[in-house]
Structure 1
Amino acid sequence: MNTADLGLPVDVPSTALFTDQYELTMLRAALKAGTAERRSVFEVFTRRLPNGRRYGVVAGTGRVLDAVENFRFDPGVLGFLRERQIVDEETLKWLADYRFSGDIWGYPEGEVYFPGSPIMRVEGSFAECVLLETVILSILNHDSAIAAAASRMASAAGDRPLIEMGARRTHELAAVAAARAAYVGGFATTSDLAAGFRYGIPTVGTSAHAFTLLHDRERDAFQAQVETLGRGTTLLVDTYDVAEAVRTAVEVAGPELGAVRIDSGDLLLVAHRVRQQLDELGATDTKIIVTSDLDEYAIASLAAAPVDAYGVGTQLVTGSGHPTSSMVYKLVARADSADPKAPLVPVAKKSSGGKMSIGGRKWAARRLDADGTAEAEVVGTGPVPAELADRQLLVPLVRGGTVVAREPLDVTRDRHIAARANLPLSATQLSRGEPVIPTEYVHGRSGS
């Protein structure tokens, strides 16, 4: 959910300068040429998935909707553009009244995608659509990369919960977005309070090594924490000697101790030793949480270990080696004139070097096999085949400039779990491979 769902006040600044300068210079030139008001269709897609990934995850859609609503050129922003002489007075006048009034369609947040999937489609005049390129891409590229990494980690973790704890490893604002994307991808909680405040994500946290080092004895630190937070707290047991710390922890908290956290060493070996020791001390219900630079491979390697939860930071907020989704925002159709009734003409980049695109407004559907498992991502122009009519993926997000698709974050998280479960089993393999299903193109007449 977002802060509006929680009834919490949030001062959201203008997003208009989350823009590359060339978007404004294109606008200025189009206004002068008389082409700015031509009806246009832009699409967001990626030509390929990151190396070795089997599927992508759509995340950040809700943040895109917020950004579009707050894309306003207020006096301060206009003053900056005037002072830098980035655009002329005619363009400044046009920008002062800017409100996106077009339509946006897209894959619902949490859905999976593949190369060529039209993840988002923005329709309106060229002028109002071109300005949104950078802010849309910056959100979707970041959030989808984090969600994809989170999804792989969640698959590796199985039923064991994941804690997002990467705020100290990235920009403070990126940390909030990363926590949100991680939740969409399958994480259960976050340590970042700003993410909890803004999006309603459950938050957790107890203590660091500094708290133990502050006290004269490890026992004193454990005693202070238990007296403050209760016996159900999580005690960090690897500041000094793990075996001694586990013994002390149970002596202080009793068998009702909630959990111990291990943050260093050979986690597989240490976890087995700690589980045996806890059981021998009668703390059979005390859980074991492991942290320490985990990624999906490390989590998978701990599948046979007596671990109850994982805390992940650096590898999550950096996309586990792939911090961007390489999405692009391309003009795929435009009218020949500013007449609202003028038909759309497909357009596409034809250059070599792997950067070609396919013209025309696209639809997308996922074809299923006889068992109901996804077998192909079908992308086309023109009429949708009857057999795919009820499998279409694009849904309306904005109509006539008004957001029509806000939804609680838990809905997007559940959607992703369902979408991933609908893929072939090889989707969850961590070994390098091609997209788990192919993308097929169906070409037809692209109507207006």
Structure 2
Amino acid sequence: MNTADLGLPVDVPSTALFTDQYELTMLRAALAGGTAERRSVFEVFTRRLPSGRRYGVVAGTGRVLDAVENFRFDAPVLAFLRERGIVDEETLGWLADYRFTGDIWGYPEGEVYFPGSPVMRVEGSFAECVLLETVILSILNHDSAIAAAASRMASAAGGRPLIEMGARRTHELAAVAAARAAYVGGFATTSDLAAGFRYGIPTVGTSAHAFTLLHDKERDAFRAQVDSLGRDTTLLVDTYDVAAAVRTAVEVAGPELGAVRIDSGDLLLVAHRVRQQLDELGATGTRIVVTSDLDEYAIASLAASPVDAYGVGTQLVTGSGHPTCSMVYKLVARADTADPAAPLVPVAKKSSGGKSSRGGRKWAARRLDAAGVAEAEIVGTGPVPAALADRQLLVPLVRGGRVVAREPLDVARDRHIAARAGLPLSATQLSRGEPVLPTEYVHAPETV
């Protein structure tokens, strides 16, 4: 949810300058040339998944809807454009009245996608659609990359909760978006209070090594924390000697101690030793939380350990080596005239080097096998085959410029869990491989 959902006041700035200059220069030339009002269809897709990944995760849809809603050229923005000479007065006048009035369709947030999947389709005049390219791509590329990494980590964790802790490892605004995307991908909580405030994500946090070092004795630090936060708190036990700290922690908090956190060392070995020690001390219900530069591979290596939860930071907010999804925003169909009733004609980029695109306004559906498991992503133009009619993936997000698909973040999170569960089991393998589903194209006549 956003702050408006929480009933909290927020000053939402214009998103109009979250764009590249050539969007405005294209608009200027199209207005002058008489083609700006031609009905157009743009699609967002990726030509390939990051190397070795088996599936992608759509995330950031809710943020895209917010951005489109607040894409307004107010007086300060127009003054900036005039001062820089980026556009002429005719274009400035057009921008002053800009409101997106078209339609947007897309894969619902949390859904999985594959190469060629039309994860978002933007329809309207060329002028109003072309301006949204950069802001849509910047959100979807970032958030979907984080969500994909989060999903892999959640699979590796095997049901154990994951804590997002990456705010100190990225830009302060990116940190909030990353926490949101991680929640969609399967993380349970975040340490980032801005993310909790804006999106209602559960927040957690207790203490760092600095708090222990502040005190003359480790026991004094533990006592202060337990007195303040209660016995169910999490005590950090690797500032000095882990075994001594665990013993002290149980002495101070009793066997009701909530958890201990380990942030260094051989986590597999240390976790086993700590579990044995806690059990011997009677703290059989005390949980073990581990942190320390974890990624999906490190989490998977701890599957047989007595770890109860994982805290992940750097690797999560950087997409675990893949900080973007390489999504693109391409014109795939347009009318020959500005007449709203003019038919759409498919258009496509034909360049070499693997950067061509497929023309036509597309639909997408996921075909299932006899056991109900997904077996192919079907992308086509024209009529949808009857057998796939109830398996279509795109849903309306904006109609006539009005957002129609706002939903709580938990809905997107639950959707992703269900979508991932519907894939073949090999989708959760961490070894490098091809996309778990092939993308099959169904072609229609050249006019759509």
Give the TM-score of the pair, scaled to structure 2: 1.00
Mapped to 2, the partners of 1:214 and 1:12 lie a distance apart of 40
Mapped to 2, the partners of 1:264 and 1:11 lie a distance apart of 41
Mapped to 2, the partners of 1:428 and 1:53 lie a distance apart of 10
Return the offset for 1:7: 1.1
Cα-to-partner distance string for 1:384-408 (whole Å, 9 max, x where unaligned): 0000000000000000000000000
Number of corresponding residues: 448
Return the offset for 1:250: 0.2
Aligned residues of 2:179 and 2:190 also touching (Cα < 8 A): yes
Mapped to 1, the partners of 2:8 and 2:156 lie a distance apart of 35
Cα-to-partner distance string for 1:18-65 (whole Å, 9 max, x where unaligned): 000000000000000000000000000000000000000000000000
Cα-to-partner distance string for 1:309-366 (whole Å, 9 max, x where unaligned): 0000000000000000000000000000000000000000000000000000000000
Mapped to 2, the partners of 1:446 and 1:428 lie a distance apart of 38
Mapped to 2, the partners of 1:115 and 1:209 lie a distance apart of 44
Q: What's the C-alpha RMSD, in Å, of the aligned pairs?
A: 0.6
Unaligned runs of 5+ in 1: none
Return the offset for 1:445: 2.7
Mapped to 1, the partners of 2:242 and 2:438 lie a distance apart of 49
Mapped to 2, the partners of 1:149 and 1:403 lie a distance apart of 28
Aligned residues of 1:382 and 1:446 also touching (Cα < 8 A): no
Runs of 4 or more, structure 1, over 6 Å off, are none
Equivalent residue for 1:220? 220
Return the offset for 1:4: 2.0
Aligned residues of 1:184 and 1:412 also touching (Cα < 8 A): yes
Aligned residues of 1:2 and 1:409 also touching (Cα < 8 A): no
Cα-to-partner distance string for 1:167-201 (whole Å, 9 max, x where unaligned): 00000000000000000000000000000000000
Equivalent residue for 1:162? 162
1:192 aligns with 2:192: yes
Aligned residues of 2:346 and 2:447 also touching (Cα < 8 A): no
Q: Secondary structure at the match of 1:435?
A: coil
Return the offset for 1:8: 1.3
Aligned residues of 1:381 and 1:446 also touching (Cα < 8 A): no
Aligned residues of 2:49 and 2:56 also touching (Cα < 8 A): yes
Mapped to 2, the partners of 1:278 and 1:237 lie a distance apart of 12
Aligned residues of 1:191 and 1:205 also touching (Cα < 8 A): yes
Indicate the percent of aligned positions where both proteins have the same amino acid: 91
Q: Secondary structure at the match of 2:4?
A: helix
Return the offset for 1:447: 5.4
Mapped to 1, the partners of 2:287 and 2:380 lie a distance apart of 50
Mapped to 2, the partners of 1:4 and 1:318 lie a distance apart of 28
Aligned residues of 2:262 and 2:289 also touching (Cα < 8 A): yes
Return the offset for 1:105: 0.1
Mapped to 2, the partners of 1:197 and 1:432 lie a distance apart of 37
Mapped to 1, the partners of 2:416 and 2:195 lie a distance apart of 20
Aligned residues of 1:16 and 1:71 also touching (Cα < 8 A): yes
Q: Secondary structure at the match of 1:365?
A: strand
**Cα gap change, 1:446 to 1:363, in 2 (>3 Å):** farther
Mapped to 2, the partners of 1:446 and 1:12 lie a distance apart of 43
Return the offset for 1:446: 5.9
Return the offset for 1:9: 1.4
Cα-to-partner distance string for 1:240-271 (whole Å, 9 max, x where unaligned): 00000000000000000000000000000000
Mapped to 2, the partners of 1:118 and 1:411 lie a distance apart of 21
